[in-house]
Structure 1
Amino acid sequence: MARRPAGQSQPTLDPKGGLFVFHGKDAFLRADYTHQLRAKLEETQGEIETIHFDGTRDAFADVLDECRSFGLMQQHKLVIVEAADQLVKDTGRPLLERYAQAPVEAATLVLRCDIWYKGNGNIDKLIIASGGEVHKCEGLAPNEAAAWAIKRAKEHHDVAIKRDAAMLLVERVGQLGRIDSELGKLAVDAKGGITREMVAEAVGMTREEEVWSIQSLILSAGPEELLTQLRTILVNSKQDQSVVTLWACMDLCRKLHSASQALHQGQNPASVAGTLKLWGQSKDAIMHAAKRIHPVQAGRLLSLAVEADRKNKSGLGRADRLLERLTLQIAGGTR
């Protein structure tokens, strides 16, 4: 999930503003801001009329004509334009600049799009000067997303969720749309509120989290603990984990081999980690192991992983036995 910096304030969404721009890759957040704005308009204007336009096919002049015309029931209008960036081109730009200086009071215009170009800076200033707002919808920082989940659970799903549970949900899922979907599922059985245990059990780890949990185990656990945990992963999971586990071993050996070679050649550790796309805990653990292992030994481990993968795909041996042997070989080779 793309995240905006922590500490950035939530949008005011003042219904007195006549023009709003919600731009960014998070379509759910764009829709959520629009929903919040609509609710505030209904509080101040009563029932409102909603009209939708598509920036890829509708003319901006038609959009503005709709804003300026009166509806049959004299209701306040909420005019929403998707792919609005397509309208702010050529002849559309001066039209928007003029409208932004004096939006009509009988309508609220919302422009939504994935991309809002930096060249629109003058338009942004005009929108803000007239009481409107421009918001980038690129997701929330983890702590803000957790706060959003707590509020969303209470207001939309009629259930409470503890903060540690909300933080785990954000970590597991990420995108607000998926968080909302998981909240709906969890709310069904959450009689006393959603706990961290419920999230851990009901919301699966991402593929990246699964892979790193296996790699971390190989790099840190002793032989007995490693085999015990490996058997737990392979036996207790609802799905066959042998493929994921074998892939995690292959990926770990590949990264160790590449990192050990680069470090042996005197390359900058930070640059090596960046090239291999390592970050967080995985970066520290894998780079530390790569410093300890010689490139030749790392190459042998990679060959062992490739051979184990070949045998597994050819049906030569039991997957659990192949993985037990391979994980012990990798663990022993990186100590």
Structure 2
Amino acid sequence: MARKMPAKSVTLDADVRVLALHGPEEAIKKEKIDQLREALEAEHGEIQKFIFDGKIATLAEVFDEVRGYSLMGGYKLVIVDPADDFVKAHREPLERYAQSPVDHATLVLRSASWNRGNLDKYIAKVGAVIKCEPPKPAEAVARLVARAKDVHGMSIDRPAAQLMVDRLGVHLVRLETELDKLAAMAGALSPKGRSMKSAGGIDRAMVEQAVGKSSDEKAWEVQESILAAMGARNASAGTIVTKVRELIDLGGQPEILVMYFVADLARKLAVGGQMRAAGEPEGAISKALKLWGPRQRLFMDVLRKVGPDGGARLLDMALTADARSKSGFGPAGRNLEGLCVQMADVQG
């Protein structure tokens, strides 16, 4: 069995005696616990599951349950959730336990954070330490396609799944919840008399209608337009101002909100410029700023153009324009247009 590896690389079996699941992705933690439970049931038959709140449970309470034999004589699965504070307070006793665990129970430590140390080494010999992170966008799309088929018996177009990831991000709990809603809609919209299992699929039009754009997606709509204008071969103040006016007049975006999104773009360029000046590769910059695909290429083109000093100047200009608008020094639209003129003049 693989140890101390990313979640997708680990298959859990009935030999696991201690398991640590940490990271922000709750859906993967649940998936791994379900996988472990199924393996234990296949080996031991019916098992008993006990869950302790790691914020209030004592070490004695948890160890008494783990070490004690079940009155029914079955195998036990004992989960501490959340285990962040519990592990921090009882690391040494947990290290000793992991060196000699009982053979009639499995202890699961489920936490958001995890500090590596000797406990990892001891757990790896009798189980696994698994980091549960959100998947990459392409992996999230693939999981949505698979879940639609396996759980709901219907298809989802890949462009539809991609749009869900673009709008909602890559956290699986939210994606799976929205997919379940869409599947219910698709079943309800299927011809009368057809079961949901025989219903059609989920297409991009349904996602566009039912899945709202996240604030990040709305921000990127504005920022992509401005980046495209800044990165154009013949970029000018007029090009950027025209694009901003289109977003406000035709796209229905409030001037104050556009100003906020422009300031956020300036912040990203400033951070990216500092990282680039420090020698960080573009891949690391993209990961830190959550950029991928066409957005990544567009952003990097502009970042190379403005340079680290230009990014810092852009941020200062954006903060000044935002402060002027909030303080009543001129209409927000005029301050925004003035900022666009300044942005066109920034070069590395």
TM-score of the alignment, normalized to the shorter chain, above 0.5: yes
- For the Cα contact (< 8 Å) 1:219–1:285, is it kept in 2? no
1:206 offset after TM fit, Å?
4.2
- Equivalent-residue separation in structure 1 for 2:279 and 2:245 (angstroms): 31
- Equivalent-residue separation in structure 2 for 1:300 and 1:209 (angstroms): 17
Is 1:93 matched with 2:95? yes
Over the aligned positions, Cα root-mean-square deviation in angstroms equals 4.4
- Equivalent-residue separation in structure 2 for 1:233 and 1:286 (angstroms): 23
Q: Which runs of 5+ in 1 are unaligned?
A: none
Is 1:66 matched with 2:65? yes
Is 1:195 matched with 2:203? yes
State the TM-score, normalizing by the size of structure 2. Answer: 0.68
- For the Cα contact (< 8 Å) 1:15–1:40, is it kept in 2? yes
Query: What amino acid is aligned across from residue 139 of structure 1 in structure 2?
Result: P
- For the Cα contact (< 8 Å) 1:211–1:245, is it kept in 2? yes
Query: What amino acid is aligned across from residue 204 of structure 1 in structure 2?
Result: K
1:182 to 175, 178, 182: 178
Change (3 A) 1:104 1:228: same
- Give the equivalent residue in structure 2 for 1:227: 242
- Give the equivalent residue in structure 2 for 1:26: 25
- CA deviations 1:167-191 (Å, max 9, x no partner) are 4433441212222222233323335
Q: Which runs of 5+ in 2 are unaligned?
A: 188-199
- CA deviations 1:185-240 (Å, max 9, x no partner) are 33233353233444455241442534532432431467579736743555545xx5
- Give the equivalent residue in structure 1 for 2:300: 284
- For the Cα contact (< 8 Å) 1:182–1:203, is it kept in 2? no
- For the Cα contact (< 8 Å) 1:169–1:203, is it kept in 2? no
- For the Cα contact (< 8 Å) 1:52–1:81, is it kept in 2? yes
Give SS of 2:100's match.
helix
- Bigger shift: residues 153-162 or 112-121: 153-162
- For the Cα contact (< 8 Å) 1:214–1:245, is it kept in 2? no
- Bigger shift: residues 298-307 or 201-210: 298-307
1:330 offset after TM fit, Å?
5.0
Change (3 A) 1:87 1:39: farther
- Equivalent-residue separation in structure 1 for 2:69 and 2:159 (angstroms): 50
- For the Cα contact (< 8 Å) 1:80–1:111, is it kept in 2? yes
Is 1:142 matched with 2:154? no
- Equivalent-residue separation in structure 2 for 1:259 and 1:14 (angstroms): 43
- For the Cα contact (< 8 Å) 2:47–2:76, is it kept in 1? yes
1:257 offset after TM fit, Å?
8.6
Is 1:314 matched with 2:328? yes
Give SS of 1:160's match.
coil
Change (3 A) 1:189 1:85: same
- For the Cα contact (< 8 Å) 2:99–2:122, is it kept in 1? yes
Change (3 A) 1:26 1:38: same
Give SS of 1:190's match.
helix
- Equivalent-residue separation in structure 2 for 1:303 and 1:189 (angstroms): 47
Change (3 A) 1:150 1:259: closer
1:109 to 107, 110, 120: 107
- Bigger shift: residues 10-19 or 214-223: 214-223
Change (3 A) 1:16 1:245: same
